[in-house]
Structure 1
Amino acid sequence: MEKDIKPRYKILGKIYFIAYLIILVYLLFFAEVFGRMENPLAERSYNIEPFKEIMRFYKYRHTLGMVAFMINVPGNVVAFIPFGFFIPIISKYKMGMLKTVFMGMLFSLGVEGIQFIVNVGSFDIDDIILNTLGSVIGYTVFLIGNIIWHRLEKNTV
């Protein structure tokens, strides 16, 4: 399990986490390149059928282009890897995988809900699934890094 994280790393983690959140909010709500413009006249779109959009992007990847596929599917995973990595670093309490991943899922659900309410992007259960997977990967990277870091620290003392 994770060991205590030194205060200086918690501070650095908070700085990086805030920078990550700023970039994420920009990409999810304001990046015109991803079609993130408010359109109050457009009909709100949503998908609550798991894997529907993932399969659609895969099936039509040649028509939509690989860039669209890569931005949507792996992009949603990659976008939440930092979330799963930084949450256990900045938390006051020990954060196990379940708590960290649950927080990632709730955060993703919140983002999707806001996108639906303000009509920027769409509410998509597939995004929540992919974002949650990103949180799992991020936490796994944190765990591996934490183990390696503490072994290195132990060997240098």
Structure 2
Amino acid sequence: MIHSFFHQVYVSDLSAIMTAMLILLIAWSVFGALFYKRMRLIGTIVLIITLVVILYMTVISRGESSAGHGFIPFSSFQRAIEQPEMYRSMLMNIFLFEPLGLALPFVIKGSTAKRILLTIAIGFMFSVAIEALQYFFTLGMAEADDVICNTVGTALGSCAYLLTLLWRKLFSKHRGRRKA
């Protein structure tokens, strides 16, 4: 079922995937503003589901292969110039990690800056761990560019937390005007 969903996303038009990512960001931030007091619990549930899905897609569902590694940063970006299909692969890595960035800031305690920075750092470390597992257990191509794209996905997702704070301010101002 998970594979089927991601296959459908993978074969979708790139602009549709980017639009879906943007809609997810905005919808999550509005949801977060409306249900802010419950977001730690909701974020924890989404985080657990996200971690399971990421591990399933990147490690558990893969069989042993001899795909190798690509440790030179940005080499996929260079190859994408000649092989545009590489853009799809990079975008899917971003898409896969965006929910991690959506959920983590609501689970982490601390200032806004601490939440965002820790979220990005955890996304980076989780991605490095996955690539290490892929490399040591020959579960596909272990690439530095995957770490970059996964970290970008986590960072993009964490932007929803900043939007949530903005929505909360706007909603509270609107509520204040209605009472007056």
- Specify the SS of the correspondent of 1:96: helix
RMSD after superposition? 2.2
Name the residue aligned to 1:24.
Answer: 54
Give the counterpart letter for 1:45 in structure 2. G
**Structure with the larger helix share:** 2
Aligned-partner Cα distance in 2 for 1:91–1:97: 9
Match of 1:55 among 78, 82, 94: 78
Aligned-partner Cα distance in 2 for 1:87–1:38: 31
Name the residue aligned to 2:127.
Answer: 108
Give the counterpart letter for 1:109 in structure 2. V
Aligned-partner Cα distance in 2 for 1:123–1:12: 32
Aligned-partner Cα distance in 1 for 2:115–2:95: 20
> 1:81 aligned to 2:98?
yes
Aligned-partner Cα distance in 1 for 2:47–2:173: 27
> 1:46 aligned to 2:69?
yes
Aligned-partner Cα distance in 1 for 2:52–2:99: 12
Name the residue aligned to 1:10.
Answer: 40
TM-aligned CA deviation for residue 16 of structure 1: 1.2
Q: Deviations over 1:17-76 (max 9, x none)?
A: 111111111111244xxxx2123xx3x611111111232244123xxxx4x641x11111
| C-alpha distance 46-29 of structure 1, shift in aligned 2 (>3 A) | same
Contact 2:59 2:133 in 1 (8 A): no
Name the residue aligned to 1:156.
Answer: 175
Contact 2:109 2:115 in 1 (8 A): no
Aligned-partner Cα distance in 2 for 1:99–1:30: 26
Aligned-partner Cα distance in 1 for 2:152–2:87: 17
How many pairs were matched up? Answer: 140
| TM-score, with length taken from structure 1 | 0.77
Q: Stretches of 4+ moved more than 6 A in 1?
A: none
TM-aligned CA deviation for residue 154 of structure 1: 4.7
Q: Deviations over 1:115-153 (max 9, x none)?
A: 111111122100111111111111112211232034314
Aligned-partner Cα distance in 2 for 1:52–1:30: 26
Name the residue aligned to 2:7.
Answer: none
- Specify the SS of the correspondent of 1:13: helix
